[in-house]
């Protein structure tokens, strides 16, 4: 049975490169404007990650060559910042987001900053993931959940599956953490990394082992 092994990642508070700072400043402005435009119809559970911490953690993973390869996928990519950070660090970066307006924002941010990445609208839950969601239904029913499989999986358009990626990033909503872990354990390739953000608890990095 596959399991996830915790990796202790020491991430120093290094200064951000100018290009990354410019990206984050622009992203902050766009997020504020997005929330203002959608104030009467907010995007469900759109809570940005800690983008400074995500860049530092991703850069450490890249520096130490911890990922088995160069393919990066973000589950729930929002406005696309973490995916773009991964691209700047040399990953072939893709983001999947269920909210079409956020995909449009991510593509605009990517184009304006000249950072190559791909963003797809759809569910990051792969075909066959219903069993994992059902197994976690008790936990999910106790909180608000935006882990949805009522829309088409994005992998059909992508032509790839979760096990084609070497590093997956997610920011689970409270109560969804175990479901995200179980989806990764079930569908990611052996040796792949899962990086997750947990609010004030910071980043976690895990590797799939058989």
Q: What is the mean pLDDT of residues 55-73?
A: 98
- State the fold for domain 3-209: Rossmann fold (3.40.50)
Predicted confidence (pLDDT) per residue in 178-189, tens digit: 999 999 999 999
Gap between the terminal Cα atoms of the chain: 6
> Is pLDDT at 173 greater than 70 in this prediction?
yes
Neighbours of 4 (CB within 10 A): 18
Give the pLDDT of residue 133: 76
27, 79 contact by CB (below 8 A): yes
> Is pLDDT at 151 greater than 80 in this prediction?
no
Strand 203-209 relative to strand 3-6: parallel, antiparallel, unpaired? antiparallel
What average pLDDT is seen over the chain? 89
The SS3 assignment for 204 reads strand
Kind and range of the H or E element at 196?
strand 193-197
Predicted confidence (pLDDT) per residue in 79-132, tens digit: 999 999 999 999 999 999 999 999 999 999 999 999 999 999 999 998 888 778
Q: Supply the DSSP string of 36-90, one letter for each residue.
A: HHTTTSPPTT-----HHHHHHHHHHHHHTT-SSSSEEEEES-TTSHHHHHHHHTT
Q: What is the mean pLDDT of residues 28-44?
A: 78
What is the DSSP secondary structure assignment for residue 98, as one 8-state letter?
A: S
Distance CA(166)–CA(195), nearest Å, equals 11
Question: Which ranges constitute the DSSP H helices of the chain?
Answer: 18-37, 51-63, 81-88, 100-112, 130-135, 137-141, 155-158, 177-187
Backbone φ and ψ for 202, nearest 5 degrees, come out as 85, -155
Strand 3-6 relative to strand 167-170: parallel, antiparallel, unpaired? unpaired
């Amino acid at each position: 049975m596959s399991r996830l092994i915790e990796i202790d990642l020491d991430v120093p508070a290094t200064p951000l490169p100018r290009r990354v700072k410019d990206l984050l400043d622009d992203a902050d402005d766009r997020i504020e404007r997005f929330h203002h435009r959608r104030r009467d119809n907010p995007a469900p559970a759109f809570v940005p990650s800690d983008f400074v911490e995500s860049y530092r953690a991703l850069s450490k993973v890249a520096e130490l060559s911890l990922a088995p390869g160069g393919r990066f996928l973000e589950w729930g990519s929002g406005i696309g910042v973490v995916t773009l950070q991964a691209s700047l660090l040399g990953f072939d970066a893709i983001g999947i987001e269920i909210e079409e307006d956020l995909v449009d924002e991510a593509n605009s941010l990517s184009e304006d900053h000249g950072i190559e990445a791909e963003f797809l609208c759809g569910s990051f839950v792969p075909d066959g993931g219903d069993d994992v969601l059902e197994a976690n239904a008790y936990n999910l029913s106790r909180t608000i959940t935006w882990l949805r499989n009522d829309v088409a999986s994005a992998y059909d358009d992508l032509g790839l599956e979760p096990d084609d990626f070497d590093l997956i990033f997610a920011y689970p909503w409270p109560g969804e953490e175990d479901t995200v872990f179980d989806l990764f354990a079930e569908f990611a390739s052996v040796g792949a990394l899962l990086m997750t953000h947990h609010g004030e608890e910071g980043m976690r990095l895990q590797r799939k082992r058989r």
